[in-house]
Each structure stands twice: as structure tokens, then as C-alpha cells.
Chain A
């Protein structure tokens, strides 16, 4: 990642590290919520931003992870932190299973299908499917996580747990961006036909994106369950999915710092402006419409790699160095076809 971005992260980390010593439990709890949503938004970014798949049912994966952890914890008394990988795996399996038949669908259709899936999951939770989910009551009595014998209970303790996870996630996703997997996703987002033609198995990569994104959402679900100790279907409805979708789009689809910023603003600002609770949604809708006209690429848009002329020169052994290829424009517009003789 670029020097500027690294500095930005370092500054943010420093500011956050000071918080447990300066802020009271209420604001720490707000930051905890921000942290959880950053994790969720990053997980959706993998699917929506990196792979370009319109997913507006992401709360379903979140729910599957949270409920898996809750059920296993309350019935089998498995410690919560051990359930992180389990819930991630279950959520990923679920995502791949449901995405398999629909992953080839065109953008808007996929959007509607994911909305439908989200609703079906929510209804199943409310109707106490398999007798496990507790219906509208949800599940309560989930145990607190304990690290090396120390039980994590208060907001400042959760702060360290959650933001450590955020740091690991950000680091991991940045590495992923640069990896073969990340590049394949970028390719298939920009032009699926060309990608397929170049040998990228689009269906497989799309499913992988769904799976990985779902896994992360599922793990965040476990953290949420441990923090609240009770979970109920109301927290995993359509509105959740919409908010996550917005965080990614408004922050800048595909851009990790953008999504982090988007999540922070969407969760943090309403807390600052609590007085305008009723008008909050109105402003939300307005912001969405205006942003799409004014700045559709998001607040901190994805920057594609920029090549300097000197790099090109080195590549072709000191060839023509005039001009610099710069496909570094934020969110490129549909490519123009070149008409030639």
C-alpha cells in the first residue's frame, strides 16, 4: 500500500489506542459498534466492491454466523472465541450453497435474489426453524469471551478485542488485494467476459468471494453475539443489509480505506446528531440520491494502480518513455470501444 495510506492507518491506530483511557463507556461502546460495522462493511466490500456482485442480503450471513455461535455456545457450552472459525465456516458454507445457483445472474437480478434470500433467512429465524433459533425471542445467555482466563465484559475491554480484529482484517484484506485472488476479482469485476476468456474461472471466483465475505461476516456475528449476550432476528433484517450496502458504496466500493471511512461515518454521525433521530432517515435517503449524482465513486474511491513512465521504460528495455499510462482514475467509466479500419 502507498506511504500515505500507511501513515493514515498509523495515525488512526494511534488515535484509537488513546481512546480507552480518555473516553467514557458510552463513547467506547459507540466505537465498538463502529468497529463491528467496519468489519461487516469490509466483508461486504469483498463481494460488492472487489468482485462487483450486487449483494443486498449480507445480513443473512451475519445472522448465520451469530446464530451458529449462539446455539453452539448455549447448548454445548463451547467457549465463544473458539467459535469464531466455526461460525465463519458455517456462514461461508451457507453462502456458497445459496449462491451457487444464482451467481451467474445479471446485476439487478442478483440484487433482488439476495434481498429475497435475506428475507427468507430472517423469516426462518423468526419462525424458529429446526427449533433452534428461539423464534422472535432469539437466543439469550450467550457467554462472554475470555482471553487467557480474563473475561471480557466492559466496553473498554471489548474495544481492544474488536479493534484488534479490525486491524488484522484491514491488514489481511490489503494483502488479499495484491494477491492473485484479489487481482482475479478485480479483473472479473471490470469485465467478466474478458476475464473468462483469459482463463479466470468466473463462477469459482465469485463463489469464493461470497464464501470469504460471508465467513468474515459470520465471525463478526460471533463477536456481536458475545458482546450483546442476546441476539434476536430484529438485528438482522433488510435494513441492516441496506446500511451495509450503503457503507460500501458511499465509502467507495472496492476501496478498503473508503469502506472503513464509510462505516465510521454511517454509524458515528447519527450518534453525534441524536437530536435529529426522526429526520435521520430522511437525510440518509437524500444523501444517497445526491451522492450518486455528485460523487458516485464514493468518498475515498478505489485507486487502480498507476504506472510511471519510467516503469514502462524499464519494462520494454528503455523504449519510448513519452507520456504516462494512467488508468488511475477513480471508478473508470465504461470503456470506449476503439473503432479502427
Chain B
């Protein structure tokens, strides 16, 4: 039983990171009907930029840990959002009227391009974050849970809640939802769809970048290829929850994390990734609209 609970907490921690990244995928897909293959690399950008900013400014020493990390996160999210907007302008906007395949190829190309610029700038080796987070653990009913793990889940949940409220309760959020349902009608209603798309490409990448920073701080080690694995898992999570559906991405992410952890514990660890992909395929066959339902009109 103890192992089960511990694996559960492991899964929730990993899952909350998947969820943060999945949100970016799902928002972009909802509005543009495009799988942004480069999203995983925006996540990686967050991790690397976080490292550079952390080591250059050492804010945690100057402003204290909590405030330092907060400011760092704001900077990282801002920078990654800028990259996201540039990406949209350069790779996706020119192809808005083109067939889907072109956009997919362009997204792939963007992903490769971003990944390799990182490699050229930072080198091919792993990079290591300095140890800034506290290492204490919390003891709950026989389990030893590292404080940072609790922190990761907490931070992710807070961010997701904020996003959910933003999308549901604000005017811009409503505009985003409208554009996701039908771009043409939204335009007729006076919504500036270009601006909506830009905002989506600000929020999605920002969340992805934050996830990258979180991963860097939590695990300590980053590499320029990490966007690929996390990206695929996050995309699986988005599909699992229902692509285009924001609460779906959150649920999907957490669920996928737990499935992976339990699968590793009770089946074999070596097949963990295959399990995630198998889940993806099964969902797409059995219930392609995902657990919470797809919020996009289906074309035959």
C-alpha cells in the first residue's frame, strides 16, 4: 500500500508538469487546429533561459528565495512568450490558408530549428541547475515526500486554476473560446482573431516556459532534447483529456502521470514510455474526443 501511495505522489508530480505543457498544446490546437510540434522546444527554452538568468543574476540571493524565484519565473515566461509570438508570425501565420500538411511540416521544421539553435548556443552536453530549492521532506503517514514535489504540484495547480478562471471569466478568455469554436463567426462578431491568436501564443508558451523552469529547478538537469519526450507525453495528455479542452488538459496530464508511475511500479519500468503511447492510441481509437470531450467541431 505504501508503494502505491508513494507512486501516486510521484505520478501527480510528473503529471502536473505534463499538464502545464499540455495546456499550451490544447489552447493552440483549439484556436488554430494545429499541433504545435515546436511547443516542447518552447518548454526547453524555458529551462535553458531559466538557467542562464538564474546563474547570471542570482536573484534568490538578492531577493530571498520565494521572491527571487517569482521574479525569475516572470522573466522566463515573458521571454518564452516572445519566442512563441515570433514563432507564430514566422512559421504559422503565412500558412493559415494552406492545407494542414504544410503547417504540420512547418511546425516540425520549427521544432528542429529551435532545438538546434539551443544546441549551438549551449552545447550538446547536459546542463545542471544550481541547487537552490530546499531539500527537506514532509512526513505524512509513513511516506516521505520531498517538499519540492509538493511545491511542484501546488504551483501547477495554481497556474492552471488561474488560467481556467481567465478563460472562463474574462472578456479575452471568452474571445479565445469563441475563436476556438468558429473563427469565421468570431470574426463576424467583431473579435480580432489575429489578436486572439497572438494572446494564445503568449499564454501557451509562457506556461510551457514556466514548466521548463520548474523542471530545471526540481530535477536539476536539462538537455536540449528534453522537449521531445515531454512534448509527446504532454500531447498525449492533451488528447487524453480532450484536445481543445482546458480542464481536459489538466486532468489528462495528472492522469497520464499517475498511469505512468503505476505502470512502472506494477509492470516493467522499461516499457513505461510504450505504455504512454499505447494509452494514446487506445484513446484515439476508442474515444477520440478524449475524456472530457473535444470542444472542436469534428470534420468528417
- Measured CB to CB, the residues of A under 8 A from B are 54, 101-102, 105-109, 111-113, 115-117, 119-120, 123-124, 126-127, 193, 238, 242, 245-246, 249, 253, 278-279, 281-282, 284-289, 291-293, 296, 333-334
B232→A115 contact, CB < 8 A: yes
Please state if A105 and B105 are interface contacts (CB–CB under 8 Å): no
Binds A, one of B3-11, B93-101, B143-151, B192-200: B93-101
Question: In this assembly, does B52 line the interface, its C-beta being within 8 Å of a C-beta of chain A?
Answer: no
Q: Taking A119-B274, A279-B120 as contacts, is the C-beta distance between A107 and B112 under 8 angstroms?
A: no
Q: A289–B273 contact, CB under 8 A?
A: no
27 contacts between A and B (CB under 8 A): A105-B288, A108-B35, A109-B288, A112-B235, A117-B277, A119-B232, A119-B277, A126-B270, A127-B270, A127-B271, A246-B105, A246-B108, A249-B101, A253-B101, A282-B112, A282-B113, A284-B109, A285-B108, A285-B113, A285-B114, A285-B116, A288-B105, A288-B109, A289-B106, A292-B102, A296-B95, A333-B99
Q: Nearest Cβ in chain B — how far from A125, in angstroms?
A: 11
Cross-chain contact of B98 among A112, A238, A286, A292 (Cβ < 8 A): A292
B residues 255-280 near A (Cβ < 8 Å) are 268, 270-271, 273-274, 277-278, 280
Chain B residues within 8 Å of A106, by CB = 298-299
Nearest CB in chain A to that of B274: its residue:
A123
Cβ-defined contact, B105 with A102, below 8 A: no
9 residue pairs, one from A and one from B, having the closest CB atoms:
A288-B109, A285-B113, A285-B112, A116-B277, A289-B109, A282-B116, A123-B274, A292-B106, A292-B102
Closest Cβ of chain A to B114, distance in Å, is 8
Q: Which residues of A contact B100 (CB under 8 A)?
A: 107-108
In the complex, chain A residues whose CB is within 8 Å of the CB of B113: 282, 285-286, 288-289
Question: Do the beta carbons of B280 and A242 come within 8 Å of each other?
Answer: no
Within B73-112, which residues are at the interface with A (CB < 8 Å)?
90-91, 94-95, 98-106, 108-112
Q: Is B239 an interface residue (CB 8 A)?
A: yes
Nearest CB in chain B: distance from A189 CB, A: 11
Cα separation A111 to B281 with both chains bound (whole Å): 11
**CB-based contact A296/B102 at 8 Å:** yes
State A120–B282 Cα separation when bound (angstroms): 13
Footprint of A on B, CB under 8 Å? 33-35, 90-91, 94-95, 98-106, 108-117, 119-120, 228, 232, 235-236, 239, 268, 270-271, 273-274, 277-278, 280-281, 284-285, 288, 298-300
- Chain A contact surface mostly: helix
With beta carbons under 8 angstroms apart, the residue of B102, B104, B106, B117 that contacts A111 is B104
- Contact flag A285-B104 (CB < 8 Å), given A106-B299, A296-B98: no
Q: Find out whether the CB atom of B91 lies under 8 angstroms from the CB atom of A289.
A: yes
With A and B bound together, what is the CA distance between A289 and B86 in angstroms? Answer: 13
CB of B271 within 8 A of CB of A123, answer yes
Q: How far is the CB of B65 from chain A (nearest CB, A)?
A: 37
Q: Complex formed: what's the CA distance from A293 to B109 in Å?
A: 12
Known contacts A285-B116, A289-B113, A292-B98, A116 near B280 by CB under 8 Å: yes
A292 contacts B109, C-beta separation under 8 Å: yes
Contact B120 A101 (CB under 8 A): no
Say yes or no: B116 contacts A105, CB within 8 Å: no
A288 to B94, CA, bound (A): 14
State in angstroms the CA–CA spacing of A127 and B269 once bound together: 11
Residues of chain A within 8 A of B103, CB atoms compared: 292
- Which residues of the other chain, A, contact B270 by a CB distance below 8 angstroms? 123, 126-127
Nearest chain B residue, comparing its CB with the CB of A121: B274
Q: Kindly report which residue of chain A lies nearest to residue B95, judged by CB atoms.
A: A292
Selected from B34, B117, B288, the residue in CB contact (under 8 A) with A282 is: B117
Minimum C-beta distance from B291 to chain A (A): 16
**Of B98, B111, B232, B281, which contacts A285 at CB under 8 A?**
B111
Residues of B within 8 A of A285 (CB): 108-116
Chain A residue at minimal CB-CB distance from B280? A116
A141 to chain B, nearest CB (A): 25
Instruction: Note all chain B residues with C-beta closer than 8 A to A107.
Output: 100-101
CB nearest to B270 among chain A residues: A127
Per a CB cutoff under 8 Å, which of B105, B239, B298 touches A249?
B105
Which residues of A lie under 8 Å from residue B278 when comparing CB positions?
116, 120
B90 neighbours in A (Cβ, 8 Å): 289
> Contacts of B111 on A, CB cut-off 8 Å?
285
**Closest residue on chain A to residue B112 by CB atoms:** A285
Q: Are A109 and B117 in contact (CB under 8 A)?
A: no
List 4 additional A-B contacts (Cβ < 8 Å) besides A116-B232, A249-B101.
A117-B281, A286-B113, A288-B106, A289-B109
**A292:B105 contact, CB within 8 angstroms:** yes
Cβ contact within 8 Å between B284 and A113: yes
A293 & B284 in contact (Cβ 8 Å cutoff):
no
Q: In the complex, A239 Cα to B291 Cα: how many Å?
A: 30
Given known A-B contacts A281-B112, A289-B91, A54 and B104 have beta carbons under 8 A apart:
yes
